[in-house]
Amino acid sequence: MTLRRVIFDGYRNVSFLSLTLVTSTFALRPESSIIPTIALLSVLLLYSPFLFRSHDPQGWANITAILTALSIGGATSRVHASLEALSSPSQSLTTLFFISTFLSSLSLGALYCGTKLNTRLSGPWSQITLFPAIWSTLWCTVSYLSPVGHLSTWSITDNTDAYSWLIPFLGPASKNWIIAAWAAIISQTLGDWYIGPQEEENLIVTSPGAKSACRDSSSSRKLLAAFLVALTLPSFYLPRLPLPVSTIDVASPLTVACVVPPYQRYKHHSPTIDDYIEESKKVRSAAKVILWPEGAIIFNSTAQKEQAFSEIRKKVDGPYVGVSFEEIVSDPTDPTGRHALTRTGIAIISHYSPEPYLQYYKRNLVPFAESYRLRADRSPPEIFELPLARPGDYIPKPEWSSDPNRTRPIPITASICLDFATPSPFAALESRPALILAPARTWDRTVGYAMWLQAKQRAEELGSMVLWCDGGDGGVSGIAGHGFNDVAQVGSGTFIRTIGIEYPFNTTSTSFARFGDSALILFWLLVVPGSILRGGRRFRTSSFNPLSWFHAIRRPKPQAQSQPQPNLVDLRRVFHRKRLFSRDPSPKDDWSDDFLVITREDADLERSGEEAADNILTISAGTPPEPLIRPQDRSVGETVVEFPRSTAIPQRLLPPLIIPDSIIHRVSSYTAKTLTASESSPTPTFTEFTHITSSFPLPPNHIPVPRKPLPETPETSEHKNLFVVGSLE
């Protein structure tokens, strides 16, 4: 037994269930990359035609099994992080499995839509680009509707692959489209391998266009694969390294720091404001921007906040300090002032100004963990231009800046933790920031790294850099964007890093920052030219193949067909009516019992075969035609006779259908009842079927005999009765 039969025939459900469980375990991790996700989607796309069969009695059982496998694979990597998310581990695990099952259901829904709608598209290019459009649209929609944004999607956030340069132009939806496109190519290629080579002889030759269908499908796959490969070429030429900080004519050196007081030094599980001030003093002489983690200080009133800001300005003079805090203020919607609310924010202050340069409050709260006690804000972030002075006297003032103040403006903005998981958190900005301050606080290393990847993604979308400072247990901190991809620190502590800001800085927003996820329109436009979605296959329009003009030049003109071809539209109509008007349940499997086998024995019920042939020819043409001898079919000692195609027999001249006892065992009860029951209908099924078969060539009236007779054997005598049936084929 070959591998093909083991996977697709012998152990199909077990094989695909195992592959789904394994690939989903690697593909649905928060830090997953593009290759495992492509592998998972390829397996699911390859299994979808078997999974979503209409009349499969085990269909729902198989769907449930695949859904369970996807849910387990998606939840495996998040079990440790979810144990402390809620008040009890059981509640956390139940919620995790429910969310994973819901997302897996959405994925199966996208696969179902892609599988079913694919049959209504005539063009192979449209068929292969349909699922990528559905897949990217699905997760883009989920990211906008979910309270945790991109964290609840199957989108990858690893931007170290060859397609990362597309993020500033098309956004994260482009990654989903590329992954689904590669999966469609791989699944269709494996599907062709399952069907077998194209050189095998077809049992039914439909039309000259059918022979080119496989070639068109293969051409579309090759074209799409070539397009996806071409998209990787810019990554080999675009710069992926940070700017040199020593070359001041192309970069402005800016030193930044993340301050998280360690427990080993200050002996406080929750650092105080004095701990943060003392730790910030150690880097104030080198760092120009210092960032504290999310909720570093808690203020019970506005007066307490202003007093703390004054203390920070006095003791940490020199740098700009990004102070993240939680404050309790009066509810503005309560006229009595009795109710209070708590919100998380960040303020950028320095000793150069008594007022904060920028204040921002968190707009997206973690469900359950934060939403019950904090109030989300609606104000979008703003941009503050930091005046960067020359780093030393060794640099002449005219070479540093032509500004009268001899400073270089560095546009800076800020956002907080979960805001980076939402789609387009900086859409309200009118220009591009150079640096984004991002205080955070996570409770597990897995969650911290997932949020770090989200921050990197948002920085790539804007063409900026982000300073991520996570004060949670096991949290990761670092700088991302413009060549920075590595984590600088895990856990508490302080790190300092000098980065290069482009000079002169281009404040023009990226394409994605201006137009958002409008790239979805482009993905659907790739589907529309290939075919128009109509009512079904009977209403197909002319298909669009990008390589059709090239094949039309190379392909020779089709020769005249020597054999008549059946009308496939009528065949589909007959079999469709057979299922539609029958009240009996359909057969479980499509097999030979589903079709009426017409042989010479069936046609010769009340008259001899010669008389039946003469009567048919008399009705159709009036006089018997001359036999046509095909030279290519001649062999030594025999002559092959072929009758030309006759016209259709009028319906009123057709005899009633009689199924003799000799063929009762060949036709299923379902077929026999359907054919006999429909004979009295206004358009009998048997009448239509006979009308079609009357256009088929008649059997030869001469049985070729070998020049040297073969010896009589029992095996030969047994096959004599079957020779007539075989000659009809």
**Same domain membership, residue 291 and residue 227:** no
Indicate whether 473 pLDDT > 50: yes
* DSSP per-residue string spanning 217-280: HHHHHHHHHHHHHHTTGGGGTS--SPPPTT-TTTEEEEEEEEEE--HHHH--SS--HHHHHHHH
The conformation of residue 154, written as its DSSP 8-state character, comes to -
Indicate whether 223 pLDDT > 60: yes
Residue 664 vs residue 464, higher pLDDT: 464
Nearest by Cα to 20 from 6, 34, 41? 41
| CA–CA gap between residue 717 and residue 560 (Å, rounded) | 39
Q: Domain containing 390: what range? A: 251-515
**Same domain membership, residue 273 and residue 134:** no
**Same domain membership, residue 220 and residue 180:** yes
Residue 187 vs residue 647, higher pLDDT: 187
403-459 per-position pLDDT tens digit: 888 899 999 999 999 999 999 999 999 999 999 999 999 988 999 999 999 999 999
Q: What percent of the chain is modeled with pLDDT above 70?
A: 69
Q: What pLDDT was estimated at residue 143?
A: 95
Q: What pLDDT was estimated at residue 172?
A: 93
| CA–CA gap between residue 113 and residue 126 (Å, rounded) | 14
Q: What pLDDT was estimated at residue 707?
A: 60
| CA–CA gap between residue 417 and residue 476 (Å, rounded) | 12
Q: Is residue 205 part of a domain?
A: no
54-91 per-position pLDDT tens digit: 888 888 999 999 999 999 999 998 888 888 777 788 88
Q: What pLDDT was estimated at residue 575?
A: 46
Residue 569 vs residue 89, higher pLDDT: 89
287-305 per-position pLDDT tens digit: 999 999 999 999 999 999 9
What's CA 556's distance to the chain center, in Å?
38
Within 10 angstroms of residue 434's Cβ, the number of other Cβ atoms is 29
Q: Is residue 532 part of a domain?
A: no
Within 10 angstroms of residue 351's Cβ, the number of other Cβ atoms is 16
Residues 6 or more apart whose Cβ sits within 8 Å of residue 220: 123, 124, 125, 127, 128, 545, 546, 547
Indicate the range of 79-83, 340-344, 433-437, 566-570 predicted with least confidence.
566-570
Angle between helices 34-51 and 59-76 (to 10 degrees): 170
Mean pLDDT of the residues in the chain: 78
Indicate whether 602 pLDDT > 90: no
Q: Is residue 650 part of a domain?
A: yes
Indicate the number of domains in the chain.
3
Indicate whether 278 pLDDT > 70: yes
Residue 664 pLDDT grade (very low, low, confident, very high; cuts 50, 70, 90): very low
**Same domain membership, residue 261 and residue 214:** no
Contact 438, 455 (CB under 8 A): yes
Sign of the dihedral through C-alpha 192, 193, 199, 202: negative
Q: What pLDDT was estimated at residue 712?
A: 56
- What's the mean pLDDT in 508-528? 92
Q: What pLDDT was estimated at residue 412?
A: 97
Q: Is residue 520 part of a domain?
A: no
**Same domain membership, residue 691 and residue 617:** yes
The label of the residue with tokens 């598209």 reads 121
**Same domain membership, residue 420 and residue 459:** yes
* DSSP per-residue string spanning 302-344: HHHHHHHHHHHHHHS-SSEEEEEEEEEEE-TT-TT---EEEEE
Q: What pLDDT was estimated at residue 655?
A: 53
Contact 385, 254 (CB under 8 A): no
| CA–CA gap between residue 169 and residue 165 (Å, rounded) | 8
Within 10 angstroms of residue 240's Cβ, the number of other Cβ atoms is 13
Pairing of strands 384-389, 407-414: antiparallel
Q: What pLDDT was estimated at residue 709?
A: 58
Radius of gyration of the chain (CA): 37
**Same domain membership, residue 57 and residue 179:** yes
| CA–CA gap between residue 375 and residue 364 (Å, rounded) | 9
- What's the mean pLDDT in 365-381? 88
Residue 595 pLDDT grade (very low, low, confident, very high; cuts 50, 70, 90): very low
Q: What pLDDT was estimated at residue 347?
A: 96
| CA–CA gap between residue 356 and residue 313 (Å, rounded) | 10
* DSSP per-residue string spanning 681-716: SSS-HHHHHHHHHTTSPPPPS-----SSPPPP-HHH
| CA–CA gap between residue 58 and residue 69 (Å, rounded) | 17
Indicate whether 638 pLDDT > 60: no
**Same domain membership, residue 256 and residue 158:** no
Residue 646 pLDDT grade (very low, low, confident, very high; cuts 50, 70, 90): very low
**Same domain membership, residue 174 and residue 34:** yes
Residue 135 vs residue 668, higher pLDDT: 135
Indicate whether 275 pLDDT > 50: yes
| CA–CA gap between residue 19 and residue 24 (Å, rounded) | 8
| CA–CA gap between residue 714 and residue 723 (Å, rounded) | 15
The conformation of residue 465, written as its DSSP 8-state character, comes to E
Sign of the dihedral through C-alpha 117, 118, 124, 126: positive
Q: What pLDDT was estimated at residue 511?
A: 94
Q: What pLDDT was estimated at residue 240?
A: 83
Indicate the range of 47-51, 434-438, 550-554 predicted with least confidence.
550-554
- What's the mean pLDDT in 582-595? 45
Indicate whether 92 pLDDT > 50: yes
Q: Is residue 534 part of a domain?
A: no
**Same domain membership, residue 511 and residue 577:** no
Residue 13 pLDDT grade (very low, low, confident, very high; cuts 50, 70, 90): confident
Q: What pLDDT was estimated at residue 628?
A: 45
- What's the mean pLDDT in 20-45? 93
* DSSP per-residue string spanning 395-461: S-HHHH--STT-EEEEEEEE--GGGGGSS-TTTT-SS--SEEEEEE--SSHHHHHHHHHHHHHHHHH
Compute φ and ψ for 544, nearest 5 degrees: -110, 120
- What's the mean pLDDT in 510-527? 93
- For residue 433, give Cα distances in angstroms to 305, 314, 460, 516: 27, 28, 12, 17
191-217 per-position pLDDT tens digit: 887 776 654 444 454 555 545 555 667
Residues 6 or more apart whose Cβ sits within 8 Å of residue 149: 143, 364, 418, 421, 422, 423, 454
The label of the residue with tokens 């998040």 reads 78
Q: What pLDDT was estimated at residue 554?
A: 53
HSE at residue 39, side-chain half, CA atoms within 13 A, is 16
Indicate whether 517 pLDDT > 60: yes
Q: Is residue 538 part of a domain?
A: no
Residues 6 or more apart whose Cβ sits within 8 Å of residue 690: 649, 654
Q: Is residue 555 part of a domain?
A: no
Residue 231 pLDDT grade (very low, low, confident, very high; cuts 50, 70, 90): very high
What's the CATH code of the domain at 390? 3.60.110.10
686-728 per-position pLDDT tens digit: 445 555 555 566 666 666 666 655 555 554 444 444 333 333 3
> What size, in residues, is the chain?
729
Q: Is residue 42 part of a domain?
A: yes
Q: What pLDDT was estimated at residue 121?
A: 80
Q: What pLDDT was estimated at residue 462?
A: 94
**Same domain membership, residue 491 and residue 634:** no
Indicate the range of 325-329, 367-371, 606-610, 706-710 predicted with least confidence.
606-610
**Same domain membership, residue 594 and residue 652:** yes
